[in-house]
Amino acid sequence: MASGPSQTNGVCDGGIASLDDMRDFTDADTYNYNPVNYLQTPYEKLNFFVEGHFDFNENVSVYSETRINHRKSRQELAAVPYDTRYDPAYTGVTPDGTSFNGVSRDNFYNPFGEDVLRSRRRMLEGGRSFEQDVTRFQQVIGFEGDIGDNYYYDVNYNYGHSSTASTDFGQLYGPNLAKAMGPSFQNADGDIVCGTPDAPIADCVSMNVFGGPGSVTQEMLDYVSAPLIDSSTYTLQTVTAFVGGDVFELPAGTLSGGLGYEYRKEELNAVNDSGKFMGEVTGNKGKGTSGSLEVNSLFGEFVIPVLADLPAVERLDLKAGIRYDDFDAFDASTTYQLGLEWGIIDGLLFRSTYGTVFRAPGIGSLYAPESDSFPSATDPCRSGNWNELTSTQQGYCIADGVPVGGSNNTDSQQLAQTGGNPELQPEEGDTFTVGVAYSPNFVEGLGLTVDYWAIELDDVIDSISAGDSLDGCYLGGVSSLCDNIERTNGEISYINEKSVNLSRMTAKGVDVEANYALEALAGDFAFNLSWTHFLERENQVYNATTNVFEMEDLNGRFKNDTSYATDKLNFTAGYTWEDLTVSYNMNYISGLEYDDLTYWGTTPNDPNDPSKGNHQYEVDSFVYHDVTVAYNFDFGTKISVGVTNISDEQPPYIEPAFNGSTDESTYRLFGRSWFARISQKF
């Protein structure tokens, strides 16, 4: 039900609702949160960096690097959503003995005269924001020097520390919310009092959630609102030792290389607010976590000259590298890389590499705190969709506790649990590159490179979306996906979206880069053009139509809130005259396509059945232009001013995109803008 206009004055006055004020809920009653959210996060940041170097003697030097970073940032989101299905609320018992979380029939503001088993509302009268205070520190100290005439060494220790305090404002405290939605009455003085005349509750403010916008007063909000504070600390320690140099002479040159050892330890300790920890607040709840990761590594790399000074072989070198990593969280692994560099003639170089990939999950992927999320997904077993299911699909629902006729879940978002997974294993794969670099002698200052590359990864760390788990379980009968869904009395309790070693990923493409420099107009010109062209970009995904996991080509698509542009090109041109520099930058992003899959779930694209829509929508290509002017003073000060997005391009509208109906990580959100920057070197 939704609150309609007041019967007394024809407007939603935020007063006390009567039953006549209520009407059936429609899509027109949904809440548009986009105008409230910040598109750009306001923040303040302070950076400090100092480095030093001291020579003890000809063979021993000590160096040091210190970095300190402090950031304060804030996000403002839509008014806090409250839903008795997920959030703490009044707990009562219906006449038939069924317990529920909702609003008591005896609540003064309840116009229905019976227990409300589920109530949902946006607390429009109050704001919701999140603030972060982050301090990061890094200290590196090392020793380096020569060993005899042919070798050198480098030994260093690196310590990093990050502490974060996050504060949530506007969330609601469950125990007080339960009292405020429980029984209440009007006393002789006309005041609304929590409890009953025989057992009033002191210092409680009854909540009016049925009167429309404005019905929740500041006094009501003050009673149920509570700031929530989370904290986390992360530390990183590494010790690295490396010895390298010229090993011995070969007919074609000197074999060079080195051996090294590295120790790394990461620790994470995250503490959530007690309200989140105990599940007594609205919003995303979860418990904190702690964990550590240690790895001991050995590595070596060598350059082996094979041929030199021959016709069409100016030089031919082999490169080899090997690394052994021993993790305490999972098995050890050995990776390697083999390369070839062939200098054909002066200025023309052919190169190729092949290597194995081993990417261990980070401390966050393993031990990040468990928390709630509300991804877009609908329950296939809902009553409104029951007749669209086959008898077999209905059987899948019934086997999971859904009553005949379907569940009462009509939500477009479902509660999911995310967080780290200590059972994760490393990603493994292969990489291959081949290309040429050419700097012709007859064109001074010109350099060209063309490289083909291919990457294939297995056991990619990813998560199965809530929608895929629901469709795969109840439409496709995939039992492994049913394991991700928890139901209570037939209704979805939550869906597991934690990361797992799920999928394969392949990517192939071509990189082209051209550089040109020349002297003219009493200064120096420099031009750079870099272009990346994807030939293939595939991810393994679940296909709800065929009920199998398969490789999907994402090249040129917008999918899963990510843009996979086929072409990205960047061009820069700069002119320097003494201490003055003028630069121009152009950035090009090719167009995209996406299916007609809206937030509310329109007919999905089915390549095997043209009658099911198959609508494709296009996103135009984009070109951004920026200009910067900078001047360096002799005393170390640099002043820069510039204009970005000169043509004032607005971000594209992408219907299935979650944030602002666009891809904020790819496109610029604010049109034309300008900046001024001052930096000082000491």
Give the whole-angstrom CA distance, residue 276 versus residue 281: 6
**pLDDT attached to residue 547:** 65
Give the whole-angstrom CA distance, residue 16 versus residue 215: 7
Domain end (from 187, 211, 239)? 239
Q: Is residue 16 part of a domain?
A: yes
Give the whole-angstrom CA distance, residue 625 versus residue 647: 7
Q: Is residue 430 part of a domain?
A: no
| Domain of residue 114, residue span | 1-239
Domains in the chain: how many in total?
Answer: 2
Closest CA to 85 of 126, 106, 111, 116: 116
Q: Burial of 4 by CB count in 10 Å (0-12 exposed, 13-18 middle, 19+ buried)? A: middle
**Token code pair at residue 39:** 């598109």
**pLDDT attached to residue 564:** 96
Average pLDDT by stretches of 10, the chain with 682 residues: 44 72 79 77 90 90 97 90 84 83 94 90 88 97 94 97 96 93 95 96 94 91 94 97 96 96 95 90 84 95 96 96 94 95 95 94 82 86 93 94 91 85 90 97 94 94 86 88 91 89 90 97 96 94 69 89 95 97 98 69 49 72 98 93 97 85 90 91 76
**pLDDT attached to residue 290:** 87
Q: Helices then strands (H, E): number in the chain? A: 7, 37
What angle, 0 to 180 degrees and rounded to 10, lies between the N-to-C axes of helices 466-474 and 391-399? 120
Domain end (from 178, 212, 239)? 239
Q: What is the largest CA-CA distance in the chain?
A: 108
Give the whole-angstrom CA distance, residue 591 versus residue 166: 38
The residues, ordered by sequence, that sit 6+ positions from 500 with a Cβ below 8 Å of its Cβ are 421, 423, 424, 461, 462, 463, 464
Q: Is residue 247 part of a domain?
A: no
**pLDDT attached to residue 500:** 86
Domain end (from 177, 210, 239)? 239
Q: Burial of 93 by CB count in 10 Å (0-12 exposed, 13-18 middle, 19+ buried)? A: exposed
**pLDDT attached to residue 392:** 94
